[in-house]
Amino acid sequence: MVHSSTLRLLGPALLVTLALVPATAVATTSSRASSHDRDAGARSTLAATSIPAWRLQSAVAPPGAARGLLTRISCTSTRTCVAVGYRADASGAERTLIEARSGATWAISTSSDRPVPANVLTGVACPAARRCVAVGSSSTDGDVLAALTEVQVGAGWAVAGVALVRGTAWSELAQVACSSPSSCTAVGSTISHRVQSTLVETWDGRHWHLHASPDAPGAIASVLDAVSCPTARSCMAVGSSTYASGATRALVESWDGRAWRIVAFPAPSSTAPRAWSELSSVSCATAGSCVAVGDAATSAAKPFVALAALWSARTWRLVAAPQPVRSTRSPLLGVSCTTARSCIAVGFSVIGPQTSTLIERFDGTTWRFMAAPNLRGATLSRLSDVACTSAVTCTAAGFAGSGGHVQPLALTTAP
């Protein structure tokens, strides 16, 4: 079983920028709160009185493309972001897509491709302005993948050679995290002898280097889909492992500056006939505080519901994330934390024929829904990633569409 992070069937591009109005600007009753209430608000910058305010912001449609998709996003300030993904022409050929935001304006950046039919970017990290690294995969057909990396060069991007895994013909990098421009870690997977194994590579500013990483014991597939590195000597990576029985379980690995090790992760309670849990994203505000999100099967009727966990005191513990009423699927695909008590997670929910965006916030204790707009008239709207530069300003990337119609969008409250 091949677990691919390319998300190629997700549809057109959708950008959403979210900024929360400070609680002091919400209502006059807030100013009359007791000192106890003010202390509670200080402990949670995403207090219940914060109100999201949205407005439309135009994203750039890739010229000549039949569809466009943004998979991951990274922001260096409240007004500067880079989102990556891919675009497909009428023939089905896929090319990398990179869009940069400056204030209220989004523009397509010049990216590079290998001379093969498919080039897809699934991860990006910007440790500083104009110092970004992107990862993904390229393919000559649907079954053979080669890890792809690009680095920002001035206003454009250039392909950077990856470290090759000996004896493998299939590899992909799903996501990348950078603690500095000369210290980045990318994670993904590789296949050898019909076994899918974790893949970790590091970037020193000039070259990529392979790092040994473990696989889940007894698994036939071990995949890392996301990584967060608050320092060069501290990373947390998440993904999933699949077994011959068909069970899929969340996989977590950590880096301490010397070696990658598997970290115990609790299994969600479930009545589903087959165990299923996977982690799609992780964000570490500090080495000792991380939040991971994904999805799990809680029953046969709800095979993909939101899954969230907190890393604290060197232990992972599950934290209940709310599920939209009547939703049969509600996975969380991206998360970003600016502090241990300030996180935003994004994904989607399915209710009948409608797929809608899903946004939740975490204050260190509790997850709560946030208002999540959708593309008007679209039957499919999803968010795949989010990047926060402060507790009150975040940008999320995703896609929306209906009936094959593709149109990039942006919603924002930022200046």
pLDDT of residue 122: 98
pLDDT of residue 51: 45
pLDDT of residue 54: 64
Domains of the chain: 14-41+48-412 (2.120.10.30)
Chain mean pLDDT for the chain: 85
Task: Please check the confidence at residue 182 and state whether its pLDDT lies above 50.
Answer: yes
Say which range, 78-92, 110-124, 330-344, has the weakest mean pLDDT: 78-92
- How much of the chain is in helix, strand and coil states, percent to nearest 5? 5, 55, 40
Q: What is the pLDDT of residues 285-315, one digit of tens each?
A: 999 999 999 999 988 888 899 999 999 999 9
pLDDT of residue 4: 53
How far is 255 from 370, CA to CA, in rounded Å?
A: 33
pLDDT of residue 406: 60
Residues 6+ apart with CB under 8 A from 403: 379
Q: How confident is the model at residue 9 (pLDDT cuts 50, 70, 90)?
A: very low
Task: Please check the confidence at residue 388 and state whether its pLDDT lies above 80.
Answer: yes
Q: How confident is the model at residue 1 (pLDDT cuts 50, 70, 90)?
A: very low
Q: What is the pLDDT of residues 311-357, one digit of tens each?
A: 999 999 999 999 999 999 999 999 999 999 999 999 999 999 999 98
CB 128 within 8 A of CB 122: no
The mean pLDDT of 230-257, rounded to a whole number, is 96
**Residue 177 phi, psi (nearest 5):** -135, 140
pTM comes to: 0.89
**Residue 6 phi, psi (nearest 5):** -75, -20
Q: Are strands 354-362 and 367-370 parallel, antiparallel or unpaired?
A: antiparallel
Q: How confident is the model at residue 414 (pLDDT cuts 50, 70, 90)?
A: low
Say which residue, 61 or 150, is predicted with more confidence. Answer: 150
DSSP 8-state symbol, 298: S
Task: Please check the confidence at residue 49 and state whether its pLDDT lies above 70.
Answer: no
Count of Cβ atoms closer than 10 Å to residue 98 Cβ: 24
